[in-house]
Amino acid sequence: MPSASPTPQYPAAGGSRLSRPAGLEQVAADRFAPAAFLAPVSHPFFAACLGNWSVDMTGQLAGWGHASFRMAAGGQVLVEEHDWVGTTAPGLKYHALAVWRASADGRSIAGWAFDNADPDPIHYRGTLSPTVADMTGDCNDGRRRRLMTVTEDGLEIHLCVGDVEVMRAIRRRID
């Protein structure tokens, strides 16, 4: 049986029922004017992460793989992708994606991390400096801490669940 609600009728421009409120065009023009958009983020930590990396991991999640970092969303966010194969658990293949954003003052960082090991994304927040991002977030197996440090040799990442370090990754730039 057909629905009792009628199909909406949209009158021609100038019709009274769905006419645009006066000034709507100006509101849209002001909101989406080029000056209203954010300038690309320029942060030394993000700049140091950009590119492709080889990854060697030790700890409970030992293995090897590769990672990449790039800016996205008009230069507003740092996107991290990585894939690795486990050596302590043969056959383990880990894939992850994270999106990081610096605060307007460049002193804090927030982001979401997604992977094939956790059923839900992890929302991280923390502090940011030119060489360190120190973040925490809650997940299904407890509180996680992710400490990323720019070093002379590349990028070092420590991942802790509670007080236990489960992974230390050394990343070396390959491009």
Interval 25-46: pLDDT, tens: 776 666 666 666 788 889 999 9
Residues 113, 119, 120, 123, CA torsion sign: negative
How confident is the model at residue 34, as a pLDDT? Answer: 64
pLDDT category, 13, cuts 50, 70, 90? low
Give the DSSP H or E segment for 147.
strand 142-150
**How do the domains of the chain map onto residue ranges?**
44-173
Segment (H or E) for 71: strand 63-72
| 158: three-class secondary structure by DSSP | strand
Mean pLDDT within 6-29: 59
Return the pLDDT at 101.
96
Q: Which CATH architecture has domain 44-173?
A: Beta Barrel (2.40)
Compute the average pLDDT of residues 79-100: 90
Q: How many CB atoms lie within 10 A of CB 56?
A: 15
CA distance 61 to 138: 19
For the record, the structure tokens of 165 come out as: 């370090």
How many CB atoms are closer than 10 A to CB 69?
A: 21
User: What dihedral do alpha carbons 167, 168, 174, 175 form, nearest 10°?
Assistant: 90
